Structure 1
């Protein structure tokens, strides 16, 4: 007969050490709602409120780091080491998020732009979600859709608070995945949109994007391909730059000029972006999706940081460092979402928002999708152990 350890209380002796978690493939993620953009926008909005009140942690000594990245040298004595081609990297993006989420997680991915020649996405992503108390895994999930939808949802949160309610015209630079999810988010919060202007580099991508719009949003009755960044911006109620490109020389980044912008325009920028001097004016309202992220980037990189991090929010921090704009000119989206700062103040206000991409976004949407999967019985249950070998 087995005897109970006399040092254990009855409660302790009944605690199970078994750990199971679920694996969610990309089709599982779709079944669990990862492509529900309206719900994703709502989740990101809630997440920004949690961020603003400080109930989160990301990587780094500042608890605001984007993550940790492995990059490769220009030359190496090791013939099998990857070469530093565009977007060639491995990256880990860990975070904890409080509120009703109460979970931790990490997105891990490898990226190589040459994947496209192999019929693969540029980046291949996985996400692990953990119990914040024990650290035990809850789920291991495909994360390309998770990441794409949470990225696009953030411009949607911005549009909900900062774009005019009757917005009709969207100007888009770059007809890729980010453009699709950003437009989906804009449609979720501003259903009056009926016109899209798009600039891209290749006919194949443009044709695919236009076909996707026709199938997904029949209420968009006008789609026009334009030839310049100026045409993307002029006459648009909402503008977004979603094109990828090389970093290092900000003069090559797509640039917004003040003279192109109509009164009342909202610009959401999740990709490379620069501005002309007239856009530095204090009457151009400048919003950061999370100030802590940008300050972490600013601490971690050589100056000027915009050479290394192409987000327009980093250009603003460079301008603060140079004494050309005031730090008080930079506003926090979380503060706006929480109701402690005004959203759009009038129909003529020009507002520009920088979108940096936060690990807590993956945790927020990953947690919601995981809980949906558990409720619906979706995924493959895997066992880590019944009793750990080492304790």
Structure 2
């Protein structure tokens, strides 16, 4: 039997990714929903001892004898995020995450990301792709999955902290799942980002009739049907994380939190439903970092793990979004309950959306075909 040892793969630039549909948020939300159901079924693997790790990150010391070694500045990340996903996907891959907040001074995004998609049998590369949009849209789509199941169906008003990339993709996902939204309240740090956000909203969603720039967190939260914090900050001082107070929160509010957040005591009580994108992710983080975990992982789910550790909360009081998408746990049960979703982000999300985009690119003949080898020199 003759061997076919030739391996070709495709390279997809950011323009190629756009052509292949990476910015199709409605389809991305549907893809993430399928992915979450597979998580509930257990048909996936990530890194770490519990197969739920966010990834492996290089850390740098505060002081080094090597003057060329990077400093541990804000959002300095060199990180690999591998995963396998079964079901309809049957692929694996890894996102390489390079990030430095100082990139903005150079006209670059804070993070510069690439993704490699692999065949699960041979491990051969199938695609090497630009991943900034891939990552941004899969991140935003998760709040959309949450809103589909956990927000009130008649939600009209969104309160947003942080009008950057994550804020835009979260809004896009809410618009894909809650078509009655017509009002956005937004708080940002600078006029430039606010102007960019407002222009984008007006051009993309003309059905939004009211856009209000607000000055306080209370104004973001109060009277909002959906609240999302998409801000960036520095970890370490939990008291500096933007707060949500129970007295601000409207009955029936859905809070989607993919970024820095802390809750007052009343918001931590048992009558507020606490949903995680994946409990195992936060358990892995909790094992990997010093305590309190929320000091190092600013996502609110890390605070929930600290509460479990402190005896203030039992693990079975936390719910998984995958159990909800799979129908094993109910979504919203009434119009008055307050529900908060912690969004940590997982490499299985990248694998899912990358697989869909790869198949679209192959079908449409998009991308540059590259050859790894016809016959490997060593085997």
**Per-residue deviation, 1:305:** 0.5
SS of the residue corresponding to residue 204 of structure 1 reads helix
**Per-residue deviation, 1:317:** 1.1
Which of 329, 335, 338 pairs up with 1:341?
329
The unaligned stretches of length 5 or more in structure 2 are: none
1:154 aligns with 2:142: yes
TM-score, normalised to structure 2's length?
0.99
**Per-residue deviation, 1:376:** 0.3
Per the alignment, residue 273 of structure 2 pairs with 285
Q: State how far apart, in whole Å, the 2-side matches of 1:212 and 1:194 are.
A: 15
Which of 302, 325, 328 pairs up with 2:290?
302
Per the alignment, residue 250 of structure 2 pairs with 262
Q: State how far apart, in whole Å, the 2-side matches of 1:326 and 1:80 are.
A: 46
Q: State how far apart, in whole Å, the 1-side matches of 2:201 and 2:352 are.
A: 27
Per the alignment, residue 65 of structure 1 pairs with 53
Q: State how far apart, in whole Å, the 2-side matches of 1:332 and 1:175 are.
A: 27
1:245 aligns with 2:236: no
1:132 aligns with 2:120: yes
CA deviations on 1:285-340 (whole Å, 9 max, x unpaired) are 00000111001011111111101101101101111111112222100100000001
CA deviations on 1:210-262 (whole Å, 9 max, x unpaired) are 11100110000000000111110000000000000010111110111111001
Q: State how far apart, in whole Å, the 2-side matches of 1:109 and 1:323 are.
A: 35
Aligned pairs for 1:1-391 within 5 A = 10=1, 13=2, 15-391=3-379
Q: State how far apart, in whole Å, the 2-side matches of 1:90 and 1:326 are.
A: 34
Q: State how far apart, in whole Å, the 2-side matches of 1:138 and 1:205 are.
A: 37
Q: State how far apart, in whole Å, the 2-side matches of 1:385 and 1:342 are.
A: 51
CA deviations on 1:1-60 (whole Å, 9 max, x unpaired) are xxxxxxxxx3xx2x3100000000000000000000000000000000001100111011
Rg (Cα) greater in structure: 1
**Per-residue deviation, 1:71:** 2.0
SS of the residue corresponding to residue 81 of structure 2 reads strand
The question of whether the paired residues in 2 share the 8 Å contact of 1:280 and 1:325 is answered with no
TM-score, normalised to structure 1's length?
0.96
CA deviations on 1:84-104 (whole Å, 9 max, x unpaired) are 221112010000000010000
